[in-house]
Amino acid sequence: MSLPSDFQWGFATAAYQVEGATQQDGRGPTIWDTFCALPGKIADGTDGSVACDSYNRTAEDIALLKRLGATCYRFSLSWARIVPLGGRNDPINQAGIDHYVKFVDDLLEAGIEPFITLLHWDVPDELDKRYGGLLNRKEFPLDFENYARVVFKAIPKCKNWITFNEPWCSSILGYSTGFFAPGRTSNREKSPVGDSSREPWIVGHNLLLAHGRAVKVYREEFKPTDKGQIGITLNGDYTYPWDPEDPRDVEAANRKIEFAISWFADPIYFGKYPDSMRKQLGDRLPEFTIEEVDLVKGSNDFYGMNHYTADYVKHGDGNPAPEDFLGDLSTHPYSKNGDCIGPETQSFWLRPNPQGFRGLLNWLSKRYGYPPIYVTENGTSIKGENDLKEPEILNDVFRYEYFRDYVNAMAKAVSEDGCNVRGYMAWSLMDNFEWAEGYETRFGVTYVNYADGQQRKEKYSAKKMKEIFDAVIKKD
């Protein structure tokens, strides 16, 4: 059971979750700044204005990565730091560019390979106000293409690019449930605007077009000289049928992955949406024009995989509500015969199930022709962790066991099943702003004391990470 000797491992974060400094050096407002200001949207009423203060602590964060033995680091850029208003005719903020250029230089000097995500949900607020942001099929992809070009030009030393993080979340949580910014939904108790039956599918389509445009620019204008690679990061759980004897549950378990992952991956690898989605959604799912297919099909150099958990899936009644986005099914922590996915965590949606990681790596590899895969997020929260004080909060044995078991499952998928996994980035380097859950839920291998100047202290899992990988990576 082993991973290749050039396997890269490290940690992941995202700009709005760690940077803070939202008013510093010319950064413009994002949809998350606006959303957090709305009463009741964030569990503890907080926002990302300070977060981990990583914008001002890049040297400290790099020293931490180096201490932990990481060989790569995935982080996202704040579009609103680089083009504060977001648009292709808006001014560029040189201070924002300079910050990230120096950060990449410093990472490389420390022997850490950067993986840069262009957009991890924090769309410039002006674009939302100007033309509806992600809902605009014409304007948004052009503005994203321009932003991507500015960044590619400024940071040729970065060889690993991710266009979007988890477009499923931007589409469904932002435009169906209203749980994430900009909070649009058909539920009028939550939002005065939104159409959960149509808007998420429009947003998903537009994100694919924007992804395709950025990839085309990179491949035509930068890849020949910079020799880097570019892809997208998609999220999804593994699934098991609630009743493995019921063919409808078996079919529903597969359909759930199609609605979560293949919604984006099928157009990228095959140039079309999954048949199961077209069947249920009809004309609510946009049609690709010939030009759009040309843009999107084949637009991944690698597959970025975010994965945390698994579900038991029970088929629906064949009559899904207009706002249904799962695929006419329900998910459950227990199967028909009482088997459990895994123990509870602080996150209602997350139960550890390492064999599901191996299962999904195989599912993706078989469907998409064994592409190079980078695991760009994987990790867990711990039930009640935020209620603990030091030193107990540093003793995250549960998280260590999660990483150990998941990494071993991945190593088997590579060495025994032939999956082509090239790298792994744990979520997350440190506790941070967990979106709608605020600071109540912690995912970090490093404890951040928000009450005492954002100081970082390594937890048990942080100190064991190198040992976990040393045990499975082949020595040259």
Strand order in the sheet with 238-241: 238-241, 310-315, 329-332
Active site residue 434: no
Active-site entry in 126, 166, 258, 385: 166
Of 196, 235, 204, nearest to 320 by C-alpha is: 196
Beta pairing class for 446-449 and 455-458: antiparallel
Active site residue 401: no
Q: What is the dihedral of CA 324, 167, 358, 314, to 10 degrees?
A: 0
Active-site entry in 377, 385, 434, 437: 377
User: Would you name the residues annotated as active-site residues?
Assistant: 166, 377
